[in-house]
Homo-oligomer: A and B are copies of this chain.
């Protein structure tokens, strides 16, 4: 190694003690301004910067954030939706001087729980996203003394949360679909999670408010981010004696699976049958017909999560802030047909 310059070298160059240097650089009040300036100048000349480990050892601050990310399935980083949230989180938290490190369960050849991994590296905080929130290790981490922030899941524990406005989103989507003349609306929801619960309750509420019938056969459980699952679901729905005129899928990526199924059946989405996704990923707007969906502001969700976490780290005793709810917007693509016009025409 090109032998890093340490605080001792700097002290020698300045003719000062090590402690004086430290204080000068950390803006202690008992160092004169001219000394401080001199030290700063010398530090710049020597290209000095403190050793992160040494500093952390003493201060218990690493300026490093652990990111707990799916490691079960083969998604994780490949998950468009969460990749975008992570990206937003990363950009924001970096401006506050934090780095991010992925947290997993192994260290050396040994194993470590998520919480212990965080403690091992002395993480200043952790982002919990894209995981099974009911997993024991995840719950343990959320309840621990390491400051956490979650995405789209509200823990009972004192854990701030940034979430997308799934209630309004679902509602707007349904109202749009209804405004296009659809009454028999199918809904493939995801596995049981907080997000699913919110969307489902919003589904029922909105359908009721619009006096639309909720038909049990049109309500299916699918799997988030899984084209095959939604491929199957839509085939099942279309095989019904009286199929829906419009189907809402779990998410955009999954909706691609539905589109695949439809094209196999010789049906053209946006003409013979309507479908809508959820998320608003970029490819959904690149394909033809453009996907009708509800776009979540993922960058913003990540950014808000970062702010909440920094706030929590810097003010640990502050009362817990309510979840930040980020609104999105409807993307009226071309996969939902306007049946009102048809009625007029026929």
Contact = CB atoms under 8 A, between A and B. Distances in A.
B90 A102 contact: yes
A204 interface: no
Given A101-B100, A106-B94, A106-B95, A57 B57 contact: yes
Interface residues of A, number: 58
A245 interface: no
Contacts of A97: 106-109
A97 B116 CA distance: 14
A253 B80 CA distance: 13
What number of copies of this chain does the assembly contain?
2
Interface stretch (A119-127, A157-165, A169-177, A183-191): A119-127
B57 A53 contact: yes
Interface in A15-52: 47, 49-52
A289 to B, nearest CB: 9
Contacts of A84: 77-78
A288 interface: yes
Interface string A211-255: 000000000000000010000000000000000000000000100
A99 B99 contact: no
Contact of A99 (B47, B104, B116, B287): B104
Nearest to A87: B77
Contacts of A87: 76-78
A303 B212 CA distance: 52
Contacts of A108: 63, 97
A286 B94 contact: no
A130 interface: no
Interface stretch (A193-201, A256-264, A307-315, A319-327): A256-264
Contacts of A122: 51-53
A148 interface: no
A168 interface: no
A60 interface: yes
B77 A86 contact: yes
A50 to B, nearest CB: 8
A102 B98 CA distance: 10
A119 B286 contact: no
A344 interface: no
The 4 closest A-B pairs by CB, nearest first: A256-B286, A97-B108, A101-B101, A77-B87
14 contacts: A4-B119, A49-B107, A49-B120, A51-B57, A51-B120, A52-B120, A52-B121, A76-B87, A83-B83, A94-B106, A99-B102, A99-B121, A259-B286, A287-B287
